[in-house]
Amino acid sequence: MQDKVMETNAVTVVGEVCSALEFSHEMYGEGFYGFHIKIPRLSDYNDILPVTVSERILVGLNLRVGTVVKVDGQLRSYNKYKDGNNKLVLTIFARDMSLCNNPEEIKNPNQIFLDGYICKEPVYRTTPFGREITDMLIAVNRPYNKSDYIPCIAWGRNARYSEKLRVGDHIKIWGRIQSREYQKKISDDYVIIRTAYEVSVSKMEINEEENNRLLEK
């Protein structure tokens, strides 16, 4: 991903297609489809991530369940209104996609770089096992006055540092996209399993020239 650091939102993932293509939407006469990709972690866990791709990119790929593909694109967000509630939905928007015949040669199959701004006060917490975590929401600007809102999670030293960030701070993040199942209680006797997507931060940098704290000096 070294050649993409000038972008504000760059994703490269390599994994196995684990769901059939489904039509998503049409824009300006071009059809878009969605599927899920399975990416192994160093542990035994697999991240199952959603991908949205144009019919133009799919031409000649013969995409099917079990196919291993490399996807280059961006992590995008949009609001979905359902039952009177507004939900933030994330998807990897493919700009390019190709078959991958030797996935074992890929050292890092799940990479993301974000260059954006803190848009919600970071929340620091500790797990029952004592791990330090800070949750952040990063706004990454697109052209034409649009932005993607990306949940990010920092650990350990990065968690302690990012706890002190303020809304509007300019931040660069390197990491991976992860999926996480959680339980949502609908009623006293009904609980459903849902999946959340977020960026797990491995490295972060603050742009000191665009930092709210400078305004207080």
Domain boundary among 56, 74, 109: 109
Q: Which of 51, 30, 157, 159 is nearest to 95 (CA)?
A: 51
Which DSSP helix (H) or strand (E) runs through 156? helix 156-162
Q: Say whether both 119 and 95 belong to one domain.
A: no
How far apart CA 34 and CA 23 sit, in angstroms, is 6
* pTM, full prediction: 0.89
User: Is 156 found in the same domain as 102?
Assistant: no
Report the distance separating Cα 176 and Cα 184, nearest Å. Answer: 25
Q: Are residues 6 and 102 in the same domain?
A: yes
Do 104 and 122 sit in the same domain of this protein? Answer: no
Residue 128 belongs to domain spanning: 113-216
> Mean pLDDT over residues 42-58, rounded?
93
Higher-pLDDT residue of 182, 19: 19
DSSP result, 61-112: T---TT-EEEEEEEEEEEEEEETTEEEEEEEEEEEEEEE-S-GGG-S-SEEE
Q: Which of 2-6, 72-76, 149-153, 193-197 has the lowest mean pLDDT?
A: 2-6
* Cα–Cα nearest to 24, from 34, 37, 14: 34
Question: Do 31 and 23 touch, CB atoms closer than 8 A?
Answer: yes
Length of the chain: 217
Residues 38 and 128 in one domain: no
The answer on pLDDT for 180 being more than 50 is: yes
**Domain check: are 51 and 97 in the same one?**
yes
pLDDT one-digit tens code per residue, 184-200: 777 777 888 888 999 99
Averaged pLDDT for residues 87-102: 92
First to last CA, the chain: 37
What H or E segment, with its residue span, contains residue 14? strand 9-17
Report d(CA 62, CA 168) in Å as an integer: 44
More confident residue, 5 or 186: 186
Among residues 85, 109, 133, which one ends one of the domains?
Answer: 109
Q: Encoding tokens for residue 13?
A: 């993932």
The CATH number of whichever domain residue 64 belongs to comes to 2.40.50.140
- Greatest Cα-to-Cα distance within the chain, rounded to the nearest angstrom: 59
Same domain, 91 and 137: no
Burial class of residue 61 (count of CB atoms within 10 Å of its CB; 0-12, 13-18, 19+):
middle
> CA 159, CA 124: separation in Å to the nearest integer?
7
> Is residue 75 classed exposed, middle or buried when 0-12, 13-18 and 19+ CB atoms within 10 A define those classes?
buried
**pLDDT > 70: percent of the chain:** 91
